[in-house]
């Protein structure tokens, strides 16, 4: 009976430790603010493909640097969406480089730069829809 009690106690302790580990992983990173279904406050004004919906977004601050990311869903094919984004960024005076739009894969990307600002744009097929990610990596706050 004592051995059975020890085994039960060990199992309960392991379950408790697993619950603590899961809760610890759920905690957000310091300086990171997330939002589901909307843009976080202060998200920069960037081109957004018409009829797309915000899936999630975040803002991360690290001392004097700040970064953002927003993920959108749309029914437009990834390549077509990326061509639209490329043209829209160019119309607004952004320079496009690191372009990966002409591939045959369903994942596309480019980087846009305007002054000191950098935006990475990604598109990929996700469960029958296209997911667009607009990422502004950590940069000096303006």
- Nearest Cα residue to 70 out of 88, 97, 104, 47: 47
Between strands 53-62 and 117-126, the pairing is: unpaired
| Tens digits of residue pLDDT in 16-39 | 666 665 555 444 567 889 999 999
Q: Enumerate the β-bridge partners of residue 139.
A: 66
Q: What is the mean pLDDT of residues 1-10?
A: 66
Percent of residues, the chain, with pLDDT higher than 90: 61
49, 76 Cβ separation under 8 angstroms: yes
**101 against 82, higher pLDDT:** 82
Lowest mean pLDDT among 59-63, 73-77, 109-113, 116-120: 59-63
pTM to 2 decimal places: 0.76
| Tens digits of residue pLDDT in 95-123 | 999 888 766 667 899 999 999 999 999 99
């Amino acid at each position: 009976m004592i051995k059975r009690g020890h085994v039960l106690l060990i199992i309960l302790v392991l379950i408790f430790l697993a619950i603590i580990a899961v809760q610890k992983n759920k905690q957000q990173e310091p300086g990171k603010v997330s939002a589901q279904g909307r843009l976080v406050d202060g998200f920069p004004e960037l081109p957004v493909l018409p009829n797309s919906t915000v899936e999630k977004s975040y803002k991360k601050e690290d001392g004097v640097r700040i970064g953002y990311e927003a993920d959108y869903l749309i029914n437009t094919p990834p390549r077509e969406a990326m061509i639209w984004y490329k043209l829209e960024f160019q119309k607004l005076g952004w320079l496009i480089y690191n372009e990966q739009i002409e591939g045959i894969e369903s994942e596309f990307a480019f980087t846009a730069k305007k002054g000191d600002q950098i935006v990475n744009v990604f598109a990929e097929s996700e469960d029958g829809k296209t997911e667009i990610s607009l990422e502004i990596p950590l940069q000096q706050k303006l």
